[in-house]
Structure 1
Amino acid sequence: MITRDVGTFVGFAKNCAPDFGPSCAKAVFLIAPEGFALAEQSASDNRYMDMGLTTDAAKALAEHRGLQSALSAIVPTICFSGRADTPDAQFPNNVFATAPGRLLLGHMRHAVRQREAERPDIRGFFAQALGYREIDLRDQPGLCELTGALVIDRARGLGFCGLSERCDEAGAKAMHAAFGLRATLMFDLAPGEYHTNVVLSVLAGRAVVIAPDGFADPAVVEGIAECYAPQVVRLGRDEKLGFAGNCIAVAEKAVFMSEAAACALRAENRRTLQDAGFALHAVPLAEIEKAGGSLRCCVAEIY
């Protein structure tokens, strides 16, 4: 089922058992920010970027190494080298995603990001080392920036797809089919929001982090919250702008977000995460965040 009807989706979702698959990835991969710089094309529809900022490639690389080290203490973590001609490649989860036995290639809006999917080493790793089948979504007409646009509850096989300049209905339908989901809810993001995973995260299938002002329709916010109540973290504007919504559970009891996001998180929201059984891991990413994404965007999951 793929629908825009919140009531229909919630009625179905609340009866889905957490038996679709593992709630967290078995491993993750990163791409190093070689030649780190701000991509002008990406800034055209990313309100979280400021092209007037100066960047420090060495600092970005150091932050990224710190992220790799922190993740590797919890989950197997691979890092591929970056390339100077792909300045946004440190955010691989928009271009690459997996389901059991499958590697998906996303249909990116901007040309500067489209070339990332050509990497023969990354595609070869999945095809040759892991034996994954490749599903290339670039030839279908819809834009679909994978787990940037589509937040997935892997335990129950549910998708939450925010439509924007980076993902349209055709793309949402293509992703729903490629991931083989039970149900996907499509909805409009608020004007100016570019990716769902900045305003929404489902944590290990049992809790949700949501920024209400990132959604065009408040009914969508309430419907999603109903699916995970009472373990709902509602973000205020400052928390959202600090990238607290761009978080990820890499294990059943481990949630990762950037240091800035953790600092922005209100005490009541920290308690909600603790009550849901999560330990919060914060990683400094101030330089990388100048590129308009944060920790979740840096992490591509391997299922």
Structure 2
Amino acid sequence: MLTRVPSEFFPFARQCASDFGPATARAAFLVAPDGFARADQSARDNRYMAQAAAFDAGAAQAQHRELQRALATELPVVCFSGDPATPDALFPNNVFATAPGRLVVGRMRHEVRQREAARRDIRQFFVGLLGYEEIDLSAQPHPCELTGALVIDRARGLGFCGLSERCDEEGATLLHEAFGLRATLMFDLAPGEYHTNVVLAVLAGRAALVCADGFADAAVPEAIAALYSPHGISLSRAEHAAFAGNAIALCDTSVWMSAGAEASLTPATRSRLLEAGFTPRSVPLEAIEAAGGSLRCCVAEVF
């Protein structure tokens, strides 16, 4: 099922068992922020990006290394080198994503990010070394920025795809098919939002962090929160602005976010995460967040 109609999607979704696949990844990979700088093309539709003077390449490198060390306490984490010609490459989950046995390569909106999809080393790591099938969407004309645009409940095979300049309806269709999902709901993001994973996180298939202001239709985030009841957690505007929605569960017992995002959590949000079985874990990422993304954007999952 691929639909824009919530009344079709949610009754079907409620009937889907958590037997589609592993709820969390078996490994992750990062791309180092080599040549970290403001990408002016990306800044056109990313309101979270700071001005060039706020970019600190040395601090970003140090925080990125600490991110890898921290995540590696939970699962294997590989880090590929970056490239000054691709200053946004530290957010690889928009360009590369996996399903069991498959590597999906996305089609980025901006040319500066389209260069990332041409990397032979990452493709060969999965195809040549691990034997994954490659599904290459990078050469077709419709933007589909993978797990930036599409938030996936891996346990139930459900997709939540926010439409914007970074992913159109045809792109959403291609993503739905590439990941082989049971059902995907398409919806419009609010003006000024560029990626779904900044306003929605599904945690190990049993909880959701939802930033209602990031959706054009207020009924959609309300219905998503209800789907994950009693662990559908609505975040405040302050939590949203601090990237608390840009979070990820890499195991069944914790949720990762930036230190700034964790500091923004209200006592009620923290309590509800703990009730859902997730202990917040974080690392400082304010230097990286100048580029308009946070922790989840840095992490490409390996299934």
* TM-score range relative to shorter protein: over 0.9
Q: Distance in 2 between matches of 1:50 and 1:153?
A: 31
Partner of residue 24, structure 1: 24
Render the CA deviation track for 1:61-93: whole Å, top value 9, x for unaligned.
100000000000001100001111110000000
Structure 1 residue 238 and structure 2 residue 238: aligned?
Answer: yes
Render the CA deviation track for 1:76-120: whole Å, top value 9, x for unaligned.
100001111110000000000001111000010000000001111
The code of the aligned residue for 2:294 comes to: S
The code of the aligned residue for 2:51 comes to: M
Partner of residue 181, structure 2: 181
Structure 1 length-normalised TM = 0.99
Partner of residue 97, structure 1: 97
Deviates more, 1:52-61 or 1:196-205: 52-61
The code of the aligned residue for 2:65 comes to: R
Q: Distance in 2 between matches of 1:295 and 1:68?
A: 11
Structure 2 length-normalised TM = 0.99
Asked whether the equivalents of residues 96 and 106 of structure 1 are also in contact (C-alpha less than 8 Å), the reply is: yes
> Which portions of structure 1, spanning 4 or more consecutive aligned residues, are displaced by more than 3 angstroms?
none
Structure 1 residue 294 and structure 2 residue 294: aligned?
Answer: yes
Q: Distance in 2 between matches of 1:145 and 1:18?
A: 25
Helix, strand or coil: the match of 1:49? coil
- How far has the Cα of 1:140 moved from its partner? 2.8
- How far has the Cα of 1:51 moved from its partner? 2.0
The 5 A counterparts of 1:130-279 are 130-279=130-279
Q: Distance in 2 between matches of 1:264 and 1:301?
A: 25
Asked whether the equivalents of residues 126 and 132 of structure 2 are also in contact (C-alpha less than 8 Å), the reply is: yes
Q: Distance in 2 between matches of 1:50 and 1:25?
A: 31
- How far has the Cα of 1:53 moved from its partner? 3.4
- How far has the Cα of 1:17 moved from its partner? 0.2
Deviates more, 1:181-190 or 1:233-242: 233-242
Helix, strand or coil: the match of 2:8? helix
Q: Distance in 2 between matches of 1:226 and 1:143?
A: 30
Helix, strand or coil: the match of 1:248? coil
Q: Distance in 1 between matches of 2:179 and 2:223?
A: 22
Percent identical among aligned pairs is 63
- How far has the Cα of 1:141 moved from its partner? 2.9
Deviates more, 1:232-241 or 1:281-290: 232-241
- How far has the Cα of 1:139 moved from its partner? 2.8
| Root mean square deviation, CA, Å | 0.7
Deviates more, 1:15-24 or 1:136-145: 136-145
Q: Distance in 1 between matches of 2:221 and 2:255?
A: 21
Asked whether the equivalents of residues 224 and 232 of structure 2 are also in contact (C-alpha less than 8 Å), the reply is: no
The code of the aligned residue for 1:60 comes to: A
Deviates more, 1:178-187 or 1:41-50: 41-50
Q: Distance in 2 between matches of 1:223 and 1:232?
A: 9
The code of the aligned residue for 2:160 comes to: F
- How far has the Cα of 1:205 moved from its partner? 0.1
Asked whether the equivalents of residues 40 and 51 of structure 1 are also in contact (C-alpha less than 8 Å), the reply is: no
Asked whether the equivalents of residues 34 and 84 of structure 1 are also in contact (C-alpha less than 8 Å), the reply is: yes
Asked whether the equivalents of residues 34 and 84 of structure 2 are also in contact (C-alpha less than 8 Å), the reply is: yes
- How far has the Cα of 1:52 moved from its partner? 4.7
- How far has the Cα of 1:128 moved from its partner? 1.2
